[in-house]
Amino acid sequence: MINGLEVIEVENITRRGSYLTDTGLGSWLFTTDHKRIGLLYLFTIIFFFSIAAVAAAAMRLNLLTPRGDLVQAETYNKLFTLHGVLMVWFFLIPSIPSVLGNFLVPLMIGARDLAFPKLNLLSWYLFVIGGLVALYALLVGGVDTGWTFYTPYSSTYSNTHVVIMALGIFISGFSSILTGLNFIATIHKMRAPGITWFRLRLFLWSLYATSVILVLATPVLAILLCLLAVERVFGVGVFNPALGGDPLLFQHLFWFYSHPAVYIMVLPGMGVVSELVSAFSRKRVFGYKFVAFASMAIALLGFLVWGHHMFVAGQSVYSAATFSILSYLVAVPSAIKVFNWTTTLYRGSIRLDTPMLYAVGFIGLFAAGGMTGLFLAALGIDVHVHDTYFVIAHFHYIMVGGMVTAFMGGLHFWWPKITGRLYPEFFGKLAAIIMFIGFNLTFFPQFLLGYLGMPRRYHAYPDQFQVYNVLSTAGASILGVGYLMPLIYLIWSVKYGKKAGPNPWDAKGFEWETDSPPPTHNFEVIPVQIEDPYNYPPIS
Amino acid sequence: MVGAYIIAQFQFGPDQASSLAGQVDALFLTLLAITGTILALVAVTILYCLARYRRNAQVDRTPIPDSSLPLETAWTVIPMFIFLGMFGWGATLYFKKNQSPSNATEIYVIGKQWMWKVQHLQGKREINELHVPVGRTIRLIMTSQDVIHDFFLPAFRVKQDVLPGTYTTQWFAGTKTGSFPIFCAQYCGTYHANMIGQVIVQTPQDYEEWLSSGTTEPAMALSGANLFRSLGCSGCHAVNASVRAPLLNNLYGSPVPLQNGQVVTADERYIRDSILQPELQIAAGYDPIMPSFKDRVSEEELTQLISYIKSLSKSTDR
């Protein structure tokens, strides 16, 4: 580029400013800018994550001793309910879709905003209102049913604020639905010229699959919560057999939403990892179409496996067998993804910057989590480990080892784009390694605990389980340090980090062709996609 | 010394105390070997690539194709076959676990917040303890008085949710004497973690001795027979009764044709439902005149009534 032109370019940027230039409170609360809404979500979910993490810390401390000396049984039950509800509905589900997805979907497809910017702002408000209602349930005394709300305990026997908590989740569900609708409409209708379906970034494929689940599954949750409230408040028998209801009906409906929701909580992470693996090995993701279709296959098959949560609940052996074989089928596309990411590395030009450390960590931890899922899908083994710490360890490997690791990787990767500043690389790597070690020390012992037979949701436990609980608590304290570090250095970097420039990673994609941070309307001129995505030049 | 103590704290598997335990562990270890190998292969490949293809290394980077159908097919189809094998093996064990064994000793279990109440056919009751003779197949017939519980016996590798309003069953056969934990595995409220107990597996002689020790109650079938009279059941369900009602001799385990054309097997659930909600399943050829006994009999009394009705069947081995 000629020097003179570059100068003009810089002046232009200064004059028009970025999406962050306006600082008034009103400019944030009434914004329809997808990038700002993404940041609003980021602040909100960090707030909920912190509360849920404190609850987890209190639980782990309580479990240091077999008697459960720190808190009362009643308090412990409220802690794990709070931890589950907040982490699932107010952190994991909105984490990558609502933060990174909001920020990146228009940038990646060369649009100036999402299809429905005002609806997008409404989603955030519904999310905040839902979250505040859930916190209100906490402040007036909490809920002790577990995040699964199994009936008839939740509908009849619990003396806690079940209906308020359910209302909070109900409201936030509409936020999920609106976000899903917005992404589907945007990806269908607003792609820049040249972006055919098979030139769509893999992150967008994964978000598309996620959005389908958000739109189709969340209404079932809403209906379920209404039925629960109707039985609890008016005594209409739906789930309680004493009133003529069926307790298993609740579980069927709950898992018909909540199992697909598990994929809401991991598919976007897979999308992020596809982007990271490609950018840091400077290669097109191997088997692009297979990775894209694997996302869709997971989304669709994910609707057919809910019964694997009920193998010991009293369903017939034939439905159990059907759900078991379908659960094995849904594992196939996940395996395909792992193999394709691994092959992408072959003959790449690999840099192990912080985001890539997270991506590699994701592949390992997700694979471990997925493979322990194969144990749980095996009917004969599930009978033994169902409702034990084996299950806890398994889904934390997917949710934390997978989704949270991918979220951290994505946050570091796009941080220069979001803020215009680089984070400190040394501390970034250090935090990633500390998190990996802390995570494994926290959750690996729980596999052993589970196979030994320690049931979940126990406030106190027999002495024989103590040694693994101590290890797990020790790991949790390391994990806590790992989470605090980015909170500190990322905030520091907003002011003191090095200026990033438009494309610090020398990565491919529309988001790297605009300024960092991007101008309010993303692009001066709508870009045109003239090649396949990830079309990195040959290395040698 | 300290080292040995520390090592002794680590336990890598629960007791194997049932005929099923070894089979579940075998499947578990096989899956561990398969998945461990795959995980190790993936990890080694990744680490190898990370080291060899680091950005500044001078290595052969001749581009490979972006995709390969044979490779994709291979890593789709091969895992699928491995998974099918895992499914088959796991399902086989599950069918075995859910098959009602013949010649089993039946014991009734009632869960309530937060204790397990057990009654043996001979009449003996216990709480949070379950005495069984070694080597004998035990069939538990379980229900809950309130919320959902789960009767989990880790040393025997079995668990089953215990639901209110219906019966679930599970069986096991202890292979060695000793005491083994019972855990409630389904969250059931404040003192869920206290809903634990012991299975005490005894030699048959010790078991017989234990059965006849302490306060003895009438056998469950006898208590049931008394209830059958005092509740007025015998007024109709008898040969010379003035009202025409089905006779209950040899009912248990036999097929019952219903008025709507269906045929159901008279198991514990059917008998329970017929006592509490008689209007639901009307036996073919009879008028729907039986009153409901809902709220008139307790869960204990129901199990005694069922035990009595079952004793009227010659075919079942008691």
pLDDT in the model for residue A479: 96
Q: Please, what is the average pLDDT of chain A?
A: 94
Instruction: State the smallest CA–CA distance between residue A448 and chain B in angstroms.
Output: 7
Tokens 């859910």 identify what position?
Answer: B98
Q: Could you tell me if residue A535 is inside a domain?
A: no
Q: Which CATH class is domain B16-39+81-217?
A: mainly beta
The yes-or-no verdict on residue B240 having pLDDT over 90 is: no
**Token reading at B266:** 């008279």
B66–A150 C-beta distance less than 8 A: no
pLDDT of A7 reads 44
> Which chain A residue's Cα is nearest to B280?
A244
Q: Does residue A538 form part of some domain?
A: no
Length of chain B: 318
Closest C-alpha to A255, from A263, A243, A267:
A263
Average pLDDT on A208-228 reads 96
**A12 Cα to chain B: minimum distance (Å):** 35
Q: Which of A339, A384, A462 faces B75 most closely, judged by CB atoms?
A: A339
Contact A146 B90 (CB under 8 A): no
Confidence of residue A540 (pLDDT cuts 50, 70, 90): low
Mean pLDDT of B238-254: 85
Q: B249-283 pLDDT, tens per residue?
A: 888 988 999 988 899 999 999 999 999 988 888 88
Asked if the structure places residue A1 within a domain, the reply is no
Q: What's the pLDDT at B315?
A: 55
Q: Is the pLDDT of residue A2 over 60?
A: no
Long-range pairs, A58-64, Cβ under 8 A, ≥24: A59/A83, A60/A442, A60/A472, A60/A473, A60/A476, A60/A477, A61/A473, A62/A459, A63/A461, A63/A469, A63/A472, A63/A473, A64/A469, A64/A470, A64/A473
CATH of the domain at A425: 1.20.210.10
Range from A224-228, A396-400, A452-456, B215-219 carrying the lowest mean pLDDT = B215-219
Q: What is the mean pLDDT of residues A196-207?
A: 96
Q: Do A312 and B159 touch (CB under 8 A)?
A: yes
Which one of B42, B93, B159 has the shortest CB-CB distance to A386?
B159
Residue A58 lies in a domain: yes
Residues whose CB falls within 8 Å of the CB of residue B230, separated by 6 or more in sequence, listed in order: none
d(CA A77, CA B187): 9
Residue of B38, B142, B153, B190 to mutate for A, most A C-beta atoms under 10 A: B190
Task: Please choose, from the candidates B133, B119, B73, B46, the residue with its C-alpha nearest in 3D space to the C-alpha of residue B307.
Answer: B119
Has residue A346 got a pLDDT over 80?
A: yes
Percent of chain A with pLDDT over 70: 97
Percent of chain B predicted with pLDDT > 90:
68
Four-residue CA torsion sign, B259, B265, B271, B273: negative
pLDDT average, residue stretch B124-144: 95
- Under DSSP, is residue B184 helix (H, G, I), strand (E, B) or coil? strand
Report yes or no on A150 lying in a domain: yes
Per-residue pLDDT for B138 more than 70? yes
Considering chain B, tell me which residue range(s) the CATH 2.60.40.420 domain(s) occupy.
Answer: 16-39+81-217
**Is residue A304 situated within a structural domain?**
yes
Top pLDDT among B119 and B100 is at B119
Q: Are A154 and A162 in contact (CB under 8 A)?
A: yes
Q: Which residue of B has its CA nearest to A463?
A: B9
Is it the case that residue B11 has pLDDT exceeding 80?
A: no
Contact B147 A153 (CB under 8 A): yes
Dump pLDDT digits (tens) for A458-477: 999 999 999 999 999 999 99
Higher-confidence position of B172 and B103: B172
The domain B220-311 belongs to what CATH superfamily? Cytochrome c-like domain (1.10.760.10)
> Is residue A169, in this structure, part of any structural domain at all?
yes
Range(s) of the domain holding residue A501: 40-512
| Cβ pair B256, B264 in contact under 8 A | yes
The alpha carbon of residue B300 is apart from the nearest alpha carbon of chain A, in Å, by: 16
- Residue A307 pLDDT exceeds 70: yes
| Model confidence at B18: pLDDT above 70 | yes
Nearest-CA distance B241 → chain A (Å): 32
pLDDT band of residue B247 (cuts 50, 70, 90) is confident
Residues 6+ apart with CB under 8 A from B276: B292, B293, B294, B302
CB-CB neighbors (< 8 A) of A387 in chain B: 150, 152, 159, 185-186
Distance CA(A490)–CA(A408), nearest Å, equals 11
**Between A317-345 and A354-377, two packed helices, what is the crossing angle to 10 degrees?**
150
| Assigned domain for A471 exists | yes
With beta carbons less than 8 A apart as the criterion, state whether A354 and A422 touch: no
3-state helix/strand/coil string of A294-331: HHHHHHHHHHHCHHHHCCCCCCCHHHHHHHHHHHHHHH
Residue, of A225 and A7, whose pLDDT is higher:
A225
B149-159: pLDDT as tens digits: 999 999 999 99
CB-based contact B113 A157, cutoff 8 Å: yes
Q: pLDDT per residue over A240-294, tens digit each?
A: 998 889 999 999 999 999 999 999 999 999 999 999 999 999 999 999 999 999 9
Q: Which stretches of A235-316 are DSSP H helices?
A: 247-264, 267-281, 288-301
**Contact status, residue A417 vs residue A511, Cβ threshold 8 Å:** yes
**What stretches of A354-424 show up as alpha helix (H) in DSSP?**
354-377, 379-385, 389-396, 405-419
Q: Which chain B residues are closer than 8 Å to A240 by Cβ?
A: 164
* Most distant pair of Cα atoms in chain B: their distance: 100
Closest CA to A32 of A104, A100, A121, A105: A121
Helix H or strand E encompassing B316: none
Cβ distance B67 to A287 less than 8 Å, yes or no, reads: yes
Q: What is the DSSP letter of A539?
A: -
How many structural domains does chain A have?
Answer: 1
Helix and strand numbers (H, E) in chain A are 19, 0
Kindly state the average pLDDT of the residues B160-169: 94
Query: Which H helix or E strand runs over B143?
Result: strand B137-144
Which residues lie closer than 8 Å to B280 by C-beta, 6 or more apart? B273, B274
Q: How far is B240 from chain A (nearest CA, A)?
A: 35
Query: Based on the number of CB atoms within 10 Å of its own CB, is A242 exposed (0-12), middle (13-18) or buried (19 or more)?
Result: middle
Higher pLDDT pick, A187 / A3: A187
Optimal mutation site among A83, A145, A153, interface B, most CBs of chain B within 10 A: A153
